[in-house]
Chains A and B, each alone.
Chain A
């Protein structure tokens, strides 16, 4: 399994299980996260285990964010490792989606249950 997910009052917490999120597993990632991206959904993506993301992962995150935003949802990223932070900085990902230090920070910023 590439991701694990847990329903929270503020949204869905999605945790990437492996150490890397790259071209080899990105299709599985997209397939598994797709059912969670309902209209108005808030997805908190927990990357605490991830040490490496590549361009296909960055592209996938951008696509998810775009799809959610179109349906009044949000993608919140948290627990980013130093390695991944470097890779995020490269493509200025935080300009497009918020990146939080912890799950709690992300939850605090997430809208409450309707």
Chain B
């Protein structure tokens, strides 16, 4: 408990006694001056008796007022009883004491009689009155002494009221400290603990008796550096309030975090007399913070793990034809970049790269789920499709699209991806793009890079989207670079993006290098470009280098026709002659008829849209038959063609447009791109029903 001293009472009684003695001395001196000694002696005896009564009365009242067990009302009641004893004749006076609501009076007090009044004041405010009615004809001197006495008593009562109020406040404060949830301790100016509250005992495990007499060093955890305490001391000795999180140690050795405030308390001379320390245990908060940090770190670890196991596949070992390198540099947060490789037989290598919109575990899971869908639909399609070899790349992407798009729409997300098939039997690449960043095709023959773009929407945009493909030939020395937008959209500190141009320049410069070397060069260049800027996205990149072409061309034919409808019959005849080289098993009659139709439609499209029916243009038709498919490449220098802009055909006869594109798509695999001489290239690909088993006999 706090100890409260009470120096006021001792001082006050000294003063009263002094004034009474002064009065007594005066009376004595007056008495000596009187000539009639007897009379005066008698009078003095009477007055002395009065003084004795008064002194007795004062003493009694002092005793009553000092009784710590009395209430204010009890004190005032008792004082009212005692006060008339200051008079020899009890009927000489009527008295009333009033403090607030408490009122006491002697039996002879009559409120209608004239009276003299003294205010009872506490803490500079009037809190009550002491009223006296003098009922005898006592001398003026005698009355004067009584008035001094009553004034003193009024003052004495006021002091008592003031003290009792202060006590009550102190008691309230003391109880507040006792019951506070915060740990509180008070030290002297040397830091020796003088008081601790129950919360301190609970927080530290030290009972008050164990803590008193020690300094707070008792609680030190030694988990802070030495200068931590030096700083605390410096702040406090400068008379300032110290606030910080302090790690202390409980009696049982367990460390705990507390948010601490230590305030120096100065005495009336401005010298630091005490320190009051108030502390709140924030160990729970700290634990929660640590758990949160741990959870975050764990998320990054999970992200890396997801990236390694769920989101990225292993590139197949390099073959005679293709060398591959792939890698991803994860950003701080988990991302949804994914890639994988699929080999079906020895004639195809499929590469898929994708990027899920958004970040976090949800993006990663979406990426992982989508990636796992590809082999699943491939298996399903292989089981149902009636051809040899790998299922159609478009069919794979369209099946994945059908599966994933409703989910993506529901999740308000989308995925860009690029599905690239290296068809080793024909040395062609089939690309089904789903709104992904354009892939790079370094063409060794030209020493230039071309950007491969498709016109399809990302997965998750529209359930009605059908995915078309781009077909283009490759040659030995060509390099394909697939990447996520983290590469091209990497920013430097000035906010500038790395961009496709820099990437193409780099690929051109290092196209002859091993794919792994080029991959490292790309990531290093992006890192050097970004500098200190934060890596916001995963840097995902796949490099495929064509080491050698492996396709065995079985038949090849070429013809050039003018862009004129009259030349169509000749072109069809040339195709029919070319198809005649194929063994019967390669294509059924119906398939041949449909291919002829698709060929016609492709030529008509070029004449009608590419050359706008102007006869000046030429069309170079190259027909190639490989072991498992044939290609019809129609090169022209007219305008490019956008198949997505063509309206769908109306089978009810209400419109005669749109049938051509529909027929081409239905009869073969069509793609639109660029040829090696900067021409526009329409490519029709027709996979064979069975392997082309005829002996190789190239013809032109």
Q: A22-B568, A86-B594, A91-B649 are in contact. Are A55 and B589 (CB under 8 A)?
A: no
Instruction: Please give, as numbers and ranges, the residues of chain B lying within 8 Å of A54 by CB-CB distance.
Output: 597, 600-601, 604, 660, 663
Name B661's closest neighbour in chain A (CB-CB): A55
Question: Is A52 within 8 A of B596, CB to CB?
Answer: yes
Taking CB atoms and an 8 Å cut-off, the chain B residues in 643-700 that contact chain A are 649, 651-654, 656-657, 659-660, 662-663, 666-667
A108 at the interface (CB under 8 A from B): no
Question: Is B565 within 8 A of A63, CB to CB?
Answer: no
Instruction: Please give, as numbers and ranges, the residues of chain A lying within 8 Å of B604 by CB-CB distance.
Output: 23, 54-56
A32 at the interface (CB under 8 A from B): no
Question: Is A87 within 8 A of B659, CB to CB?
Answer: no
Taking CB atoms and an 8 Å cut-off, the chain A residues in 16-64 that contact chain B are 20, 22-24, 52, 54-56, 58-63
A66 at the interface (CB under 8 A from B): yes
B593 at the interface (CB under 8 A from A): yes
Q: How many whole Å from A88's CB to the nearest CB in chain B? A: 11
Given contacts A82-B589, A86-B590, A90-B666, 8 further A-B contacts (CB under 8 A): A54-B601, A54-B604, A55-B660, A59-B659, A86-B594, A87-B593, A90-B594, A91-B651
B580 at the interface (CB under 8 A from A): no
B402 at the interface (CB under 8 A from A): no
Question: Is A87 within 8 A of B652, CB to CB?
Answer: no
In Å, the complex CA distance between A82 and B659 comes to 20
Name A62's closest neighbour in chain B (CB-CB): B653
In Å, the complex CA distance between A86 and B595 comes to 11
Using a CB–CB cutoff of 8 Å, the interface residues on chain B facing chain A are 565-566, 568-569, 572, 589-590, 593-594, 596-597, 600-601, 604, 608, 649, 651-654, 656-657, 659-660, 662-663, 666-667
Q: A20-B569, A23-B604 are in contact. Are A60 and B656 (CB under 8 A)?
A: yes
Question: Is A87 within 8 A of B594, CB to CB?
Answer: yes
Name A81's closest neighbour in chain B (CB-CB): B593
Interface string of A60-83 (1 = CB under 8 A from B): 111101100000000000000011
Q: How many whole Å from B649's CB to the nearest CB in chain A? A: 7
In Å, the complex CA distance between A83 and B590 comes to 7
Q: A54-B597, A83-B593 are in contact. Are A59 and B565 (CB under 8 A)?
A: no
In Å, the complex CA distance between A56 and B600 comes to 11
A96 at the interface (CB under 8 A from B): yes
Question: Is A90 within 8 A of B565, CB to CB?
Answer: no
In Å, the complex CA distance between A96 and B600 comes to 24
Q: How many residues of chain A have a CB within 8 Å of chain B?
A: 25
Shortest beta-carbon contacts, A-B, top 8: A59-B656, A62-B653, A55-B659, A24-B565, A66-B653, A55-B660, A86-B593, A83-B593
In Å, the complex CA distance between A62 and B658 comes to 13
In Å, the complex CA distance between A95 and B653 comes to 11
In Å, the complex CA distance between A90 and B600 comes to 15
Taking CB atoms and an 8 Å cut-off, the chain A residues in 78-114 that contact chain B are 82-83, 86-87, 90-92, 95-96
Name B604's closest neighbour in chain A (CB-CB): A23
Question: Is B663 within 8 A of A55, CB to CB?
Answer: yes
In Å, the complex CA distance between A23 and B565 comes to 7
Q: Could you show 18 A-B contacts with beta carbons less than 8 Å apart?
A: A22-B565, A52-B572, A55-B601, A55-B604, A55-B659, A55-B662, A55-B663, A56-B604, A59-B657, A59-B659, A63-B656, A66-B654, A86-B594, A87-B597, A90-B594, A90-B666, A91-B663, A95-B651
Task: For A65, give its contact among B653, B662, B667 (CB under 8 Å).
Answer: B653
Instruction: Please give, as numbers and ranges, the residues of chain B lying within 8 Å of A60 by CB-CB distance.
Output: 656
In Å, the complex CA distance between A56 and B663 comes to 11
Instruction: Please give, as numbers and ranges, the residues of chain A lying within 8 Å of B657 by CB-CB distance.
Output: 59
Question: Is B597 within 8 A of A96, CB to CB?
Answer: no
Q: How many whole Å from B634's CB to the nearest CB in chain A? A: 15
Question: Is B601 within 8 A of A24, CB to CB?
Answer: no
Q: How many whole Å from B200's CB to the nearest CB in chain A? A: 90
In Å, the complex CA distance between A65 and B654 comes to 10
Question: Is B656 within 8 A of A90, CB to CB?
Answer: no
Name A89's closest neighbour in chain B (CB-CB): B590
In Å, the complex CA distance between A61 and B667 comes to 20
Q: How many whole Å from B305's CB to the nearest CB in chain A? A: 50
Question: Is A24 within 8 A of B568, CB to CB?
Answer: yes
Instruction: Please give, as numbers and ranges, the residues of chain B lying within 8 Å of A83 by CB-CB distance.
Output: 593
Instruction: Please give, as numbers and ranges, the residues of chain A lying within 8 Å of B649 by CB-CB distance.
Output: 91
Q: How many whole Å from A2's CB to the nearest CB in chain B? A: 14
Q: How many whole Å from B610's CB to the nearest CB in chain A? A: 14
In Å, the complex CA distance between A92 and B663 comes to 12
Instruction: Please give, as numbers and ranges, the residues of chain B lying within 8 Å of A24 by CB-CB distance.
Output: 565-566, 568-569
Instruction: Please give, as numbers and ranges, the residues of chain B lying within 8 Å of A91 by CB-CB distance.
Output: 649, 651, 659, 662-663
